Amino acid sequence: MRGAGRLPLPIAADSGRWVSVAAERTVLGVVHNITSATRLLDLLTVFEGDRRVQTVFTCTESSALDEGTLEFFTSRGMLHIPWEEATVHKFDMAIATSRGGDLHNLRTPLIGAPHGAGYNKLLKREAGSGKREAGSGKREAGSGKREAFGLSPEWLTHEGRVVPSAIILSHDEQRERLAVSCPEAVPVSVVAGDPCFDQLQVSAPFRENYRRALGIRPDQKLIVVSSTWGRGSILASDESDTDVLRRVLAELPADEYRALAAVHCNAWYGHGAWQLQNWLAPLTEHGLLLPVPDTEIWKAALLAADGILGDHGSLTMYGIALGIPAILGSFAESKVAPQSPMARLGKILPRFSAHRPFLPQIEEAAAVQQDSAELRQLRATVTSRPGESAVLLRRLFYEWLELPEPVTPARSRLVPVPSTVPVGYSSPVQRPVYVSVASEEGWATVRRYPAPLQRRTMERHLSGAHLVADIDDPDAGWPRSADVLLLPLGRPRHVAGMVSWEDIAALYPGCALLALEEPEGGCLALPRDGVRLRARWDGRRPSWASAAIAASVVHDHAMSAVGGPGPLSVQVAIGAEAETGLLIISAL
């Protein structure tokens, strides 16, 4: 076991006796918190397969939001050393994806890179001490100008000297802003593209693979709700009447849409993973996908997405660059650099209206944004070297390491396909839903919405809907007021002869129909008038077909029509463009 204060084996004084691979160069990976760590790993892919390069990591210990960083290192097997050790040990090169901390104390050539989609945020040191969320340098506070974090003198210089040996930019426009805000840093700036966006681009042809891995059916659409951290983010807006994250789940038809919340690492680890999951449990219980943000699932989600509800975080910008329709659920202008692409994004994208249903807003955005010249120009600001970042970054790093590049071509890695679906909670009881059925002769179009999430928005999308609930729901208010009661297979009382309408009427006064689930997604439907009906799916059964949907069709579409000379055939659809199923309803 390595003792306290002892250096990791590859950089220890006696390493030659013990190492299995004698690397020729050692790189120091400098992280500020988990957010910067995830981007650093994107950059370090250029060293994959090269045994000449050993990487050791350190944390500047300067962030108020660095919770979980050491666990991040340990869980991934990343050798790490304390910041004090990093400042006295000499490495061949250091790479930092944040400007936070006393980076000027490093005795190593430092390459600085952004940890998002360019340089868009405002962040100032506290006056006097020079401390801020992102570091603890001993320099005076900034001039007060609204300059982007990472492009201003207060973040790039120390006692008049530019700290980084090289500054990575993703677009030429960033160099233009740098020339205005910190001209002395321009000579060391390098436009090398955006490795994250290049990775997304090269992975885009495999969209269906990511959708399947996330559990998105071919007939469903995925909405990604992206929340950055801090006040003004979407997560913070859910404390107000806007309540946008809940409204997405409440107002989207549950069978046609899935929603995924991409929460920023700083919010996730700042409050704690358990706390975020606990706060959002009422939403994950109704289908919200909530991946851990320090994985690459957020990238897979963007590739699978059909729409974005975003804010001033980088994920919104990446989504726009991929051509995904987007609206802003929140946007904190005070935290965005005025001349940045993100500021332009805030002016171009429509804002979520609390006074209109969500679904038509995202549909309108999709229709308008497809041919928007403004958005085409904005997409081009993410990188001015599309597809070239792997080549340019590798060239830069190996020049500083004074090593010849590997003979294999530099390339962007594909986004890994998620191995598990990020579900939050699975209940043995079918959760209550409001169901609307649009009926025509021989047709029924069904849409379902999670009942517990409906508040002031009910009248917008639930006109004429009926309530369906599991008879054993632990919240007894739902089955007592349900129009349709479900009794799934496998329950102790799932025997038709044990059901008495007198008992049902006494215990569940709102019930108009009791549906006993049958195999293959059908049901035995028992309405109040005593007629027994059987509903079964005929032919190829769609993936969404269930006893609950069959019961809703019987309740709203077919009850009055059954009892004639023969069975009634109803073509059932979930949404306007979904695959249909044939439901046969007959009297027993």
Both 86 and 102 in one domain: the answer is yes
Both 65 and 112 in one domain: the answer is yes
- Classify the phi-psi angles of 524: left when phi > 0, otherwise alpha if psi is within -120 to 50, otherwise beta: beta
Amino acid identity, position 236: A
pLDDT on residue 206: 98
**Of 129, 162, 191, the domain-final residue:** 191
Cα–Cα dist 177/11, whole Å: 39
pLDDT on residue 499: 60
Which element (helix H / strand E) includes 572?
A: strand 568-574
pLDDT on residue 97: 92
Per the structure, the complete domain to which residue 40 belongs is given by 9-191
Cα–Cα dist 468/554, whole Å: 12
Residue 10 phi/psi, 5-degree rounding, is: -60, -25
423 occurs within a structural domain: no
* Residues sharing a CB contact under 8 Å with residue 267, sequence separation 6 or more, in sequence order: 227, 228, 229, 230, 233, 235, 276
**Of 191, 207, 224, the domain-final residue:** 191
Cα–Cα dist 81/249, whole Å: 44
pLDDT on residue 455: 78
* Residues sharing a CB contact under 8 Å with residue 519, sequence separation 6 or more, in sequence order: 489
Please report which residue ranges of 195-296 form alpha helices under DSSP H: 195-203, 207-213, 234-237, 244-251, 265-271, 273-279, 281-284
Distances (CA, A) of 85 to 12, 62, 82: 12, 15, 5
**Of 131, 158, 191, the domain-final residue:** 191
Residues of the chain with pLDDT under 70: 1-6, 9, 13, 124-145, 238-242, 423-425, 456-460, 492-500, 558-566, 577-578
24 occurs within a structural domain: yes
Which element (helix H / strand E) includes 469?
A: strand 466-470
β-pairing, 307-310 vs 257-263, is unpaired
Both 546 and 485 in one domain: the answer is yes
Both 181 and 320 in one domain: the answer is no
Distances (CA, A) of 220 to 256, 438, 516: 5, 19, 27
Return the sign of the alpha-carbon dihedral for residues 386, 389, 392, 396.
positive
Cα–Cα dist 272/292, whole Å: 11
Q: By three-state DSSP, how is residue 409 classified?
A: coil
The beta strand positions in 247-369, using DSSP E, are 257-263, 307-310, 326-328
Both 180 and 300 in one domain: the answer is no
Both 335 and 438 in one domain: the answer is no
Both 224 and 329 in one domain: the answer is yes
- The domain that contains 285 carries what CATH number? 3.40.50.2000
Give residue 30's Cα distance to chain centre: 25
The residues facing 227 across adjacent strands are 263
* Residues sharing a CB contact under 8 Å with residue 364, sequence separation 6 or more, in sequence order: 350
Both 250 and 364 in one domain: the answer is yes
413 occurs within a structural domain: no
422 occurs within a structural domain: no
DSSP summary character for residue 407: S
Cα–Cα dist 59/148, whole Å: 23
| Largest distance between two CA atoms of the chain | 93
pLDDT on residue 297: 95
Q: By three-state DSSP, how is residue 155 classified?
A: helix
Cα–Cα dist 228/306, whole Å: 20
- The domain that contains 117 carries what CATH number? 3.40.50
Return the sign of the alpha-carbon dihedral for residues 461, 462, 467, 468.
negative
397 occurs within a structural domain: no
Both 168 and 58 in one domain: the answer is yes
pLDDT on residue 134: 36
Q: By three-state DSSP, how is residue 450 classified?
A: strand
418 occurs within a structural domain: no
Cα dihedral 211/214/217/221 (nearest 10)? -70
388 occurs within a structural domain: no
Both 305 and 364 in one domain: the answer is yes
Both 183 and 297 in one domain: the answer is no
Question: Which residue in this structure is represented by tokens 């061949």?
Answer: 92
391 occurs within a structural domain: no
Structural domain tally of the chain? 3
Both 268 and 364 in one domain: the answer is yes
